Amino acid sequence: MTSETELIPGPRDVVAGSGEVRLTKRSQLYAGDGTEGVGNWLRTVLQQATGLPLHEGRELDDACDDGIGLQLDPALGPEEYRLVSDSNGVFIEGGGPAGVFWGAQTLRQLLGPDAYRRAPLDRQRAWAVPHLTIQDSPRFRWRGLMLDVARHFMPKEGVLRYLDLMAAHKLNVFHFHLTDDQGWRVQIKRYPKLTEIGSWRARTKFGHRASPLWDDKPHGGFYTQDDIREIVAYAAERHITVVPEIDVPGHSQAAIAAYPELGNTDVIDTASLSVWDTWGINPNVLAPTDNTLRFYEGVFEELLELFPSEFIHVGGDECLKDQWKQSPTAQARIAELGLADEDELQSWFIGHFDKWLSARGRRLVGWDEILEGGLADGAVVSSWRGYEGGITAARAGHDVVMCPEQYVYLDWRQAPGEDEPVPIAHVRTLEDVYRFEPVPEQLSEAEARHVLGTQANVWTEVMEDHARVDYQTFPRLAAFAEVAWSALPAPGERDFADFERRMTAHYARLDALGVAYRPPTGPLPWQRRPGVLGRPLDGPPPRA
């Protein structure tokens, strides 16, 4: 096999032929009914990279010999595709437009790393697709990446770039973490102070929260509603669903700094709070009042107009209950509702928005803490504190997205060496991610059907710019993408040596895309952060 056929994620079935299809100035691209959007995308990226005109074919026969044909085949699954390259040309069939799009992504890999460039390096070079047949489909319907833009803001262009990187790896859910203690990143027109005040902080902790270092430059930024519409439309063209996250009732100091009445005013002087400038779990949480509920209903009303996703994430994690325990208002609400304790109060809070979203045809997603005090009806659980939350939720008949920190928290360090920049938590190597199994073995076959899929999470406390995000995310996201897409053997039986071999070709694609990944040999000099305190933990992470 040539380097062009070293595909990631690995397809279900490949049959090699003997020969190749040469793309030339005469080659046409035909997009059948329902595939026009994929055709426009494919023609654009290939014209940029190759300089070939790839004229629009009017019928399938126009793609014969040296062209590309796209069409739907209802016999295939919605994301399933078949790619055939032979003496008749290159043909991609999918059960739906998404399937055709994933086939087009495979075609791009087959053309070689330079197919990922934005201008041709040599207009005289030959572009060829080897003769072969590929049949492929994803294992999971939810193949996600969570990007935290609250801790360190990523400008819109960076987000669009990550959508392209996701598409290149056949990932299809973008979990957009838009709010936290350290920043509010989405414009809400009825509450302008959320971005006027809540979108920037005066300074930023540099390194782990125990670090003595500070960046004294103000940090901030937010997306206008038109920015969000653009991001959602850009994602949709790439068959990626954007799932927004607005964190409640914890991780909310940025919102309280903007609107102090949202906090527990009977416990602390919320008017004195500013957007938080350090990391960790914050005690300043939302007050469980009708005013808070109405405020966030207003937030979600605007969000639902911006995000068509079936799923809306409400956070629900790491909500410290100390202020509620001290708050007469919170204690009165517990008594009024007949609740047992503060855990049930949080469950009531999340349950309110579960019902509110359900009434509008949406589904609530929350981190596994929403299990505490009783699981909200219809809620989907993002299982991050290991497997246990996902197991509990699936056994209770709730859908689950598996994202256990022990495997897929990409802010965790990649190697034990002292050169790793701002080392956080346990070592999670490329191989560790490759051997991650999203479906817990404890689940029965029926329970396992509640596992919608899996997601890798990129928390950006110690990632101050896109180069740091790239370093932590890649190459491990490539391994994760194969776990999410391909039907792999049991973790211990997976052929990591073969994956490493295919990664040799994939690094060249990442180079063409300009990704500042961690090289296999370790960080480059400018990727290190000497003297910046992290929080490395020794040994393997605990299984949970």
CA–CA dist 198, 343 (Å, integer) = 27
Tokens found for residue 22: 């040469």
In the DSSP assignment, the letter for residue 495 is: -
- Would you tell me how many other CB atoms lie within 10 Å of the CB of residue 337? 11
Rg value, the chain, Cα: 24
User: What's the pTM?
Assistant: 0.98
Cα-flanking dihedrals φ and ψ of residue 527, to 5°?
Answer: -90, -10
Chain centroid offset of residue 208 CA: 23
pLDDT in tens, the chain (544 residues): 455 579 999 999 999 999 999 999 999 999 999 999 999 999 999 999 999 999 999 888 877 889 999 999 999 999 999 999 999 999 999 999 999 999 999 999 999 999 999 999 998 899 999 999 999 999 999 999 999 999 999 999 999 999 999 999 999 999 999 999 999 999 999 999 999 999 999 999 999 999 999 999 999 999 999 999 999 999 999 999 999 999 999 999 999 999 999 999 999 999 999 999 999 999 999 999 999 999 999 999 999 999 999 999 999 999 999 999 999 999 999 999 999 999 999 999 999 999 999 999 999 999 999 998 777 778 899 999 999 999 999 999 999 999 999 999 999 999 999 999 999 999 999 999 999 999 999 999 999 999 999 999 999 999 999 999 999 999 999 999 999 999 999 999 999 999 999 999 999 999 999 999 999 999 999 999 999 999 999 999 987 6
Let me know: does 166 contact 475? Beta carbons within 8 Å.
no
CA–CA dist 109, 513 (Å, integer) = 12
- Residue 1, pLDDT score: 43
Active site residue 419: no
- Residue 99, pLDDT score: 98
Active site residue 239: no
Choose the catalytic residue: 152, 177, 251, 313. 251
Tokens found for residue 161: 């770039």
* CA distances in angstroms from 372 to 101, 465, 501, listed in the order given: 40, 35, 44
- Residue 2, pLDDT score: 54
Reading phi first (left if > 0) and then psi (alpha if -120 to 50, else beta), residue 138 is in beta
Strands (E), 124-253: 127-136, 142-148, 173-177, 179-180, 183-184, 200-201, 204-205, 214-215, 219-220, 241-248
Choose the catalytic residue: 318, 344, 388, 431. 318
Choose the catalytic residue: 180, 227, 354, 405. 180
Q: Is 543 exposed, middle or buried (0-12, 13-18, 19+ CB in 10 A)?
A: exposed
CA–CA dist 82, 472 (Å, integer) = 33
The tens digit of pLDDT for each residue in 463-486 reads 999 999 999 999 999 999 999 999
What's the number of CA atoms in the CB half-sphere (13 Å) around residue 122?
A: 5
What's at 539, amino acid-wise? Answer: G
Let me know: does 350 contact 364? Beta carbons within 8 Å.
yes
CA–CA dist 131, 127 (Å, integer) = 13
Chain centroid offset of residue 43 CA: 26
111-147 in b/e burial notation, b at 16+ Cβ within 10 A? bbbbbbbeebeeeeeebbbbbbebebbbbbebbbbbb
Active site residue 251: yes
Contacts for 336 with CB less than 8 Å, ≥ 6 apart: none
- Residue 4, pLDDT score: 58
Comparing CA positions, the residue from 446, 309, 313 lying closest to residue 369 is 313
Comparing CA positions, the residue from 468, 505, 453, 503 lying closest to residue 2 is 505
- Residue 376, pLDDT score: 72
